[in-house]
Amino acid sequence: MAKLDEVKEILNTLRIWLSLTIGLIVVTSSGLINRYDNGDEDWVFWSGSFLLIVLIIVIMLIIRKISSKTKEIKDL
């Protein structure tokens, strides 16, 4: 039973990280859209665009980890 609780706790933590990452994507993309509308395509704009790409990759990794932990729960 302890192994099941451990995996569930890891799964909950991953879900929290997924929510935080999605929130970061929303905030960053709205800031980028605002900068684009104002015509401020400087280094901040491009570094924010790079950050969005990195965050999307992080989301894919978190989803993959959530999937593996869910399958691990099924096997327990």
Q: What was the pLDDT predicted at 21?
A: 97
Its pTM stands at 0.86
**35-70 pLDDT tens trace:** 999 998 999 999 999 999 999 999 999 999 999 999
Q: What local confidence, expressed as pLDDT, does residue 18 receive?
A: 97
The predicted pLDDT at position 76 comes to 76
Q: How many CA atoms lie within 13 A of 4 on its CB side?
A: 5
Q: 15 with 66: CB under 8 angstroms?
A: yes
pLDDT band at 25 (very low <50, low <70, confident <90, very high): very high
Residue 16: what pLDDT?
A: 97
